[in-house]
Amino acid sequence: MAEFFFYGTLCHPPLLAVVLGRKVAMEPARLAGFSAFRVQGRAFPVLVADGGGAEGVVVRGLGDEDIRRLNFYEGDFRAEAHRVTLADGSLTAQVYLPPEGHWQPAEPWSLADWQARWGATVTAAADEAMRLYAEGVDPARMHGRYPMMLARAGARLRAGQGGPVTVRRRSGPGDVAIDRHWQPYGNFFAVEEFDLRFRRFDGTMSGPVNRAVFISGDASVVLPYDPVRDRVLLIEQFRMGPVGRGDGEPWMLEAIAGRIDGGESPEEAAHREAFEEAGLRLSRLLPANHYYPSPSAKSEFLYTFVGLADLPDGIAGLGGVPGEAEDICAHLLPFDDLVALVESGEVTAGPLVMLCWWLAARRDGLRRGA
């Protein structure tokens, strides 16, 4: 049996319970000679030897299986277990430390701040990660998927908030019985399969059915609109969907869009993507319809907005994030030209079509208020 000192995210009891597969007792503890700082560009901390004292918890009596699970989860954070003596000298425990200089510290670590923004999302992502442990997936491969796990976790949490139920059937306990759930493929996207039964409209349960779902997380879509000049900004980029379908025109006109990262709100993602793809600072977001574009096979949920912005001449150009292989061309168009493109069939991206008609119904009011 072994004792471990945790100073960062694993001090969050729900997360540690998912990683270990069981709840354990935690005792407050302090490690002298170190302080915890958030890692630059990351949401987890690192210990820095500075003569201070790092607050954390000790967990006693961890066995070989517990340690294997911890090593799987911590492995590709470049952390290895080291033996340390805690502040009062009464206990020697193991702690995960990265190689010296591997991470660069930012501001002092705050567990409370992390829990408020990240706790639920990271815990939900850990549930997916530890399913891969049970399947024998290599930890490096799991961590390569981790950013998308965070995005999918955020999507699951937002989905759990529910939505209006007036005409459609209200789901109740036991209406969906999942007998088996597994992930035959996972990378940037994932495919998950389910053996399940569901409540039929006559009140009986269906027989066993097998269903596969394409998992891609949620996304924010925003159409920038200048009500003073009555113009919009579209982007054009190469898309694999048309290529896979055999379309000879794989460059598409679209609204600005992007994945909602783990710990990020749909609104934050819309503002971020507007800046990354077109260099725009939006003054206001108007929420349009939020929806599943293809619920029979895809889990993706779209949050769509019209973003009010200043769109002067010369603002359109090339953009995108080079590290993500984005190659984007922006187009500045009068709103009537967008309508003509939609009606001609040159615009075939569903979210842009929907946002065009949503804005058309509200355009006069926005122009009067500009």
C-alpha–C-alpha distance, residues 350 and 239, integer Å: 14
Q: Which of 324, 326, 343, 346 is catalytic?
A: 324
φ, ψ of residue 292 to 5 degrees: the values are -90, 120
Residue 311, both tokens? 């769109």
Q: How far is CA 161 from the centre of its chain?
A: 16
3-state secondary structure of 165: coil
C-alpha–C-alpha distance, residues 250 and 240, integer Å: 7
- The β-bridge partners of 185 are 191
φ, ψ of residue 295 to 5 degrees: the values are -70, -15
Residue 137, both tokens? 């997936």
- If we measure between CA atoms, which residue out of 332, 365, 309 comes closest to residue 232? 332
Instruction: Please say if 74 is a catalytic residue.
Output: no
Counting Cα atoms < 13 Å in the Cβ hemisphere of 280 gives 36
3-state secondary structure of 355: helix
Strand (E) or helix (H) holding 134 = helix 120-134
Which residue numbers are catalytic? 324
